[in-house]
Chain A
């Protein structure tokens, strides 16, 4: 269930969804840093003490300790509120406009240990006596995940192309919950036009990896924002779908193209948007402060018993944008409410 914050309840809820290890935790931690680097009034705040602690801990780990947040070993539920600047209401007869209530977008992440979203294998951490159904439908934790998806109208779906290249399990982790979600929405009468009512931001992660960047470059999908002082290459949302399709070609299982088909089958075309994202961004030399094609890797592999580390400053790419896009689209459907 979406908790209610102490003084305000978000009108829109976004769920984070993706295969284990696809970078959900890192993305959340990077979101805080990315917002801090923006010159607007957007901020992310925990909706309960546990979620605040989690956000502080993971953000500190990412920015100071320079280690990637540890993958979830147990089921964890977190809720935050993304609070943006208040939309201005027009004044009557030239009177000074009054500020409206701040925009609030609820973000829920149910950080699941590996396998919880997968196929019928017993989830990691589950009691050995618990037999999972073919798609885990009987598992109460899956029920909770589905509750969360059902109650939100915005989904951030993370697609890790490197994981897909080595494991190729993105479709496995998408198909079962998507089918169950459709089943619920149909029963609730919200599948009337044959599509889910959700908006979905598909984030192609690890854009900073040389293999992903090279793919984008070969397809001539790269562009540079003229306002970007670092000259970092990006892929626009319009071209991100082609990058996604191109990366599907090298899926280890060959099933990645079915992810694209499933998105088209279950979501309205105008409610899907693709983003080429990187939670850590490219390495930017402190002296030149410019992106360098000869030296842009920001991830330093760890020793055998250590996790990878982040080499330089974090410069998240397209981490805020999916949230704001979802927030804006959801706000257009149902305005945010304010609890005074």
Chain B
């Protein structure tokens, strides 16, 4: 039997709590001069210890008939008052001193019922010790702050978490984290702490407040398991939103114009006159909208492409950069030239089902400055399939230049800060697979284009509403 030493008792209870798993229970039964107090402790979904206690006096247990009238009945009452369940729970029995004959009798009954139980001798009520041990319980899961990260090229946002406290951290631990706050909407900016159990985060706490936009050095302090205090910010209040509501408020990218951009507008200028006019009109709308709303300067490149000629005596219309990195006005003038020119029918017999999409991609890849960090948006407006690099079963004749559309497209997809959008005049299920990749960020049908939405998806204009529910992780340090 251990000595009735407070430190030893604390150590014993702490060890029992440390070995408590996610599904088990720790039952601690204190037998004192006045009665029995039962404590039952478990861990919640975030690994925090949670406990309840129940107390019963000897009088409560013996009833009006007295202690000696029905020993078996009193024994059963004592065992019930211990609330040891389920049977697999670990049990600690604590005998308070001084105890008395009733306490000793009850202790004997409990030891007999739970022969594997540890028995502690306590000189003072054990409730305070249990609370202290629970508060000082080291973390069984790391605590992480929910933050957002913006892709430096595209300003596309993604949700992630930044570790505040590792497993084993104890109350009093502190961590500094640099964040940037943007307007956060009705609830302000939420400082949400999560733990991870598998692929899904579990929300531990959410506190929020309207925080003026700017950079903040925030200190997170572990107050106790389940409680994190943030300083360096305006005072935070508990936020009633659950995880789903928080995530539902996430925008795709940073609100507001985010600086300069290079819009490459590639337009298919073969087909019927009406179709070509419609494509050029859509390109004009996107350029106009982007030039009007983009926060930084907009550079526009206009590329025209048509169909390949398969008659050696008829020269085809080659892929042409009408403007390259020009201002929007110059690009719109060049667009006007294309509108006046109308559909290209030169190079007959041209291929009726495919166009120089692969040549256009090769030209764009060749002309882009790969060292320039300015975000690039390639907007392709057309509908025909590309030519394969060599004869295949598609029936489409191979590109005379043997360009393989997959290569330049893959290069653009991997280029940092490059966004691909498309306006296609074929329905999604009828469009060549290349169009789905060309419209990876936004794919609209020619007849129904939400110009603002498309431009917002491509990062050319601000999305609405422009609120960020979580802080942005500041990685400038």
**A interface residue numbers (CB < 8 A to B):** 66, 210-211, 214, 286, 293-297, 300-304, 306, 309, 311
Contacts and interface: CB of A to CB of B under 8 A. Distances in A.
B397 A294 contact: no
Interface in B378-435: 389-393, 395, 397-398, 402
B241 interface: no
A309 B351 CA distance: 10
Given A300-B351, A301-B351, A303-B352, A311 B391 contact: no
A211 B393 contact: yes
A293 B391 contact: yes
A123 to B, nearest CB: 31
Interface in B114-171: none
B310 interface: yes
The 4 nearest A-B residue pairs measured at CB: A294-B390, A303-B352, A295-B398, A311-B310
Contacts of B392: 210
B312 interface: yes
Interface residues of B, number: 16
A296 B391 CA distance: 7
Contacts of A297: 391, 395, 397-398
6 contacts: A66-B349, A286-B312, A295-B397, A297-B395, A300-B397, A306-B352
Contacts of B352: 301-304, 306
Given A286-B312, A294-B402, A295-B398, A309 B349 contact: yes
A286 B402 CA distance: 17
A304 B349 CA distance: 14
B393 A300 contact: no
B390 A295 contact: yes
Contacts of B389: 294
Given A210-B393, A300-B397, 13 more contacts: A66-B349, A210-B392, A286-B312, A293-B390, A294-B389, A295-B391, A295-B398, A297-B391, A297-B395, A300-B310, A301-B352, A311-B311, A311-B397
Interface string B350-371: 0111000000000000000000
B312 A294 contact: no
Contacts of B349: 66, 300, 309, 311
A296 B310 CA distance: 12
A7 B392 CA distance: 51
A311 to B, nearest CB: 5
Q: Of residues A286, A293, A309, which shows the largest number of chain B Cβ atoms within 10 Å of its Cβ?
A: A309
Nearest to B390: A294
A302 B397 CA distance: 12
Nearest to A287: B312
Interface in B160-201: none
A311 B352 CA distance: 13
A214 B390 CA distance: 13
Contacts of A309: 349
A302 B389 CA distance: 21
Nearest to B389: A294
Q: Taking each of A294, A303, A306, which has the highest tally of chain B beta carbons within 10 Å of its own beta carbon?
A: A294
A294 B395 contact: no
A148 B226 CA distance: 97
A79 to B, nearest CB: 34
Q: Summarize B's interface: helix, strand, loop or mixed.
A: loop
Query: Chain B CB within 10 Å — which of A295, A302, A303, A311 has the most?
Result: A295
Given A286-B312, A294-B402, A311-B310, A301 B395 contact: yes
Contact of B353 (A286, A294, A301): A301
A183 to B, nearest CB: 42
A93 to B, nearest CB: 59
Contacts of A294: 389-391, 398, 402
Contacts of B393: 210-211, 214
Contacts of B353: 301
Interface string B103-117: 000000000000000
Contacts of B402: 294
Interface in B313-353: 349, 351-353
Nearest to B394: A210
Contacts of A286: 312
Contacts of A300: 310, 349, 351, 397
B244 to A, nearest CB: 50
A258 B393 CA distance: 27
A281 to B, nearest CB: 14
A81 B198 CA distance: 84
Contacts of A302: 352
A94 to B, nearest CB: 55
B285 to A, nearest CB: 28
A48 to B, nearest CB: 35
A215 B376 CA distance: 44
Nearest to A306: B352
Contacts of B391: 210, 293-297
Contacts of A211: 393
Contacts of B395: 210, 297, 301
Contacts of A210: 391-393, 395
Nearest to A304: B352
A214 B351 CA distance: 23
A138 to B, nearest CB: 41
B69 to A, nearest CB: 95
Contacts of A295: 390-391, 397-398
Nearest to B400: A295
Contacts of B311: 311
A66 B348 CA distance: 12
A300 to B, nearest CB: 6
A295 to B, nearest CB: 5
B206 to A, nearest CB: 59
Contacts of B390: 293-295
Contacts of B351: 300-301
A232 B311 CA distance: 21
Contacts of A296: 391
B152 to A, nearest CB: 41
Nearest to A209: B395
A51 to B, nearest CB: 30
A309 B314 CA distance: 15
A219 to B, nearest CB: 16
B276 to A, nearest CB: 15
Nearest to A294: B390
A301 B310 CA distance: 11
B403 to A, nearest CB: 12
B272 to A, nearest CB: 10
A248 to B, nearest CB: 19
Contacts of B397: 295, 297, 300, 311
B200 to A, nearest CB: 49
A67 to B, nearest CB: 10
A302 B348 CA distance: 11
Nearest to B348: A309
Interface centre among A286, A301, A302, A306 (most CB of B within 10 A): A301
A300 B397 CA distance: 8
